[in-house]
Amino acid sequence: MLKDSLIFRWFLLLMFVILSSCGNSKYIRRQFDYAKPVDTHSKKIDFQTKKLYKAGQVFADNRFDGARLNDFKQINDSTYQVLIEPENTPINPSPWYAFKIWSEYSDTINLQLKYKHAKHRYDPKISSDRMHWKTISGYTYNVDSTAISFKLVVNKEAQWLAAQPILNSTDTKKWLDSLTGNPLVSPVQMIGKSVLGKPLYMLKIGTGESKNKKIVVLLSRQHPPEVTGFKALQSFVKQLLKQDTLTKAFYQKYEVWLFPLLNPDGVDLGHWRHNANGIDLNRDWANYRQPEIDAVTKFIVAESKKYHVKPVLGIDFHSTFKDVYYIFDDSFHSVLPGFCEVWATSIDRIMFPFKTKKSPYGMTQPISKNWFYKQFKAEAMTYEVGDDTPPNIIEQKARVAAVSMMDLLLKY
């Protein structure tokens, strides 16, 4: 009799351990299999030579974070050529460039941007203060679109010329620090370091303790040139920091975790796509071989466990040729089933006639969107902004998206 009750107690204890470990599997970071796995073991990259280039009377300079210029030379009386190369290959066709240019004497030169391993993609932007940018749209292509040429007035004053406005890791940290004056924002935390030892930062937005809150995670800049996506994130966050009745109600139930720059090395090295180990970080969300993705996933899982909370929505801000929402197809049943579809429709309704394509996808690749689902059964979206989407539309849509997200999450 005594023996039976002892066995029964052991049985109960065993069942308890099994059941509680099942319930907590979201608090153990798991590795995931994909039909088409991606090899994210580190690869060699080429570092650009950082130096001041002089060709005739014209100077070009890549000695700043975010710069990319691989060579600069004069090819005839009035034509100067900038060579742009990727960090390694194969690589996505997103040829980032950024450099300073000036001349000993005022002159109008013919500037050629020549790309290795890509065709032209980004309209050149020019700035005299790195804050205000003007797009140069009048240029001509060479025969296979691997180079463009345009006229440029140069003088002693240096001008920045870049594929998109330059926003490097220092700019991003300054932006984060500027947010911490808002009472909804917690102090900036360092969650780990990049390959080259740059800090990876996050901050929380909400009221009171994380405990019992549902978590919305915001990510950005796994891919360095995707500045329009980052701009959308900034406007989205601005709206989340308004102190009004909507945010007041929202933060009683939710908390936002913001990771604004997942690839600081790639951004500061002026990479087209990869981190300093030559890897596309948005393919490493299954095996965590790269320190940036290892750190962010470890943090999200550990912090969720610590406060006994769960991410319910992950939004990853990117850029591509046109605005797109990558969402889940109907076969996935997240904790907020169909939320992103409803949300995207609601944004479209308010932004009419500006319409954004919805692209439902299966679980094909080890990207962040799929990780949120596999790890937490969370809903997720890749919020893609077009390379040339006008800044006022980026801002307006991001603000509408933030309001609409809060409103719908409170009803869901």
Stretch that binds Zn ion, among 43-51, 184-192, 222-230, 323-331 (CB under 5 A): 222-230
Nearer of residues 219 and 403 to Zn ion, judged by Cβ = 219
Q: How many whole angstroms from its chain centre is CA 206? A: 22
3-state secondary structure of 18: helix
Nearer of residues 81 and 275 to Zn ion, judged by Cβ = 275
Nearer of residues 255 and 280 to Zn ion, judged by Cβ = 280
**Scanning the structure block, which residue is given the tokens 């049985």?**
11
Nearer of residues 226 and 265 to Zn ion, judged by Cβ = 226
Nearer of residues 255 and 387 to Zn ion, judged by Cβ = 387
Taking CB under 5 A as the criterion, which residues in 226-245 touch Zn ion?
A: 226
Nearer of residues 243 and 364 to Zn ion, judged by Cβ = 364
Structure tokens at 33: 């299999």
Q: Are strands 199-205 and 125-127 parallel, antiparallel or unpaired?
A: unpaired
Nearer of residues 274 and 374 to Zn ion, judged by Cβ = 274
Nearer of residues 223 and 231 to Zn ion, judged by Cβ = 223
Least gap, CB of 39 to Zn ion (angstroms): 19
Number of amino acids touching Zn ion (CB under 5 A): 3
User: Distances in Å between the alpha carbon of 107 and those of 76, 155, 340?
Assistant: 15, 6, 52
- HSE at residue 9, side-chain half, CA atoms within 13 A, is 6
Taking CB under 5 A as the criterion, which residues in 260-319 touch Zn ion?
A: 318
Q: How many whole angstroms from its chain centre is CA 347? A: 21
CB-closest chain residue to Zn ion: 318
Least gap, CB of 391 to Zn ion (angstroms): 19
Least gap, CB of 220 to Zn ion (angstroms): 9
Q: How many whole angstroms from its chain centre is CA 43? A: 21
Residues recorded for the chain: 412
Nearer of residues 94 and 169 to Zn ion, judged by Cβ = 94
Characterise 171 by phi-psi region: left (phi > 0), alpha (psi -120 to 50), beta (else): alpha
Nearer of residues 141 and 321 to Zn ion, judged by Cβ = 321
Stretch that binds Zn ion, among 84-92, 162-170, 225-233, 292-300 (CB under 5 A): 225-233
Least gap, CB of 92 to Zn ion (angstroms): 8
Contact letters (x/-) for Zn ion, 167-206, by CB under 5 A?
A: ----------------------------------------
Contact letters (x/-) for Zn ion, 317-336, by CB under 5 A?
A: -x------------------
- 120 binds Zn ion per the rule CB under 5 A: no
CA distance 120 to 146: 6
CA distance 332 to 363: 9
The verdict on whether omega for the bond into residue 90 sits within 30 degrees of 0, i.e. cis, is yes
Taking CB under 5 A as the criterion, which residues in 333-392 touch Zn ion?
A: none
Strand partners of residue 291: none
- HSE at residue 372, side-chain half, CA atoms within 13 A, is 27
Least gap, CB of 290 to Zn ion (angstroms): 15
CA distance 35 to 370: 13
Residue type, 275: N
Least gap, CB of 27 to Zn ion (angstroms): 29
| φ, ψ of residue 388 in degrees (nearest 5) | -110, 15
Strand partners of residue 309: none
Stretch that binds Zn ion, among 94-102, 131-139, 215-223, 231-239 (CB under 5 A): 215-223
DSSP string, 370-403: HHHHHHH--EEEEEEEETT--HHHHHHHHHHHHH
Least gap, CB of 223 to Zn ion (angstroms): 4
Least gap, CB of 368 to Zn ion (angstroms): 10
Among 100, 198, 204, 223, binds Zn ion (CB under 5 A): 223
Binding residues for Zn ion (CB under 5 A): 223, 226, 318
